[in-house]
Amino acid sequence: MLPQKGATVHDFVGRGWSFPLGVTANGTIATAGGARKLEQAMSLVLSTYPGERPFRPAFGSKLRDFVYESASAVVFARIEQEVRESLSIWEPRTEVSEVRVHPAPDSEHLLLIDITYVIKGENDQRNLVHPFYTIPDEGSD
């Protein structure tokens, strides 16, 4: 469902508890809306492995399958595909136009997943960078 004419991004995206869960200065549950809420939802999809949620067993992405992989163009392409597929299934409020994986310049075991997306019904291109940490190969036993 796309936003109605005259509706704002907040109307379409909605408002909900922030992720990670937090409280405000006055003790109420912190909330987020608009693009911030979408980015939190996208990060939640990418950080959850299928099977972690008992009542939504297929929810999430299989990014963790790449944690021991070496940094190569083939692995980057597989990660990009996994991100695209997961977000297309679990975050229908967005259209992902580009996913690019590259190593962080200052950390040997950190990959940056650069996601360019548009909120459906809008023409405002946005960007989310999701960090992905790998575990180095310690050699043979």
* pLDDT tens digits along 53-93: 999 999 999 999 999 998 889 999 999 999 999 999 999 99
Residue written as token pair 């922030």: 18
- H/E stretch holding 132: strand 125-133
Region 99-128: mean pLDDT is 92
Return the closest-CA partner of residue 63 out of 20, 18, 115: 115
Decide: helix, strand or coil at residue 10.
helix
- H/E stretch holding 13: helix 9-13
Q: Given pLDDT bands bounded at 50, 70 and 90, which one contains residue 107?
A: confident
Q: Is residue 87 included in any domain, yes or no?
A: yes
Q: Is residue 141 included in any domain, yes or no?
A: no
Domain containing residue 87: 9-133
**pLDDT of 126 higher than 50:** yes
Q: Given pLDDT bands bounded at 50, 70 and 90, which one contains residue 13?
A: low
Region 24-51: mean pLDDT is 90
Concatenated DSSP letters for 83-123? Answer: HHHHHHHH-TTEEEEEEEEEE-TT-TTEEEEEEEEEETT--
**Residue 2 confidence (pLDDT):** 47
Q: Is residue 1 included in any domain, yes or no?
A: no
Count of structural domains within the chain: 1
Q: Is residue 4 included in any domain, yes or no?
A: no
Q: Is residue 139 included in any domain, yes or no?
A: no
Q: Is residue 138 included in any domain, yes or no?
A: no
CB 130 within 8 A of CB 115: yes
Residue written as token pair 């975050």: 91
Which CATH number belongs to the domain containing residue 46 in this structure? 3.10.450.40
Q: Is residue 98 included in any domain, yes or no?
A: yes
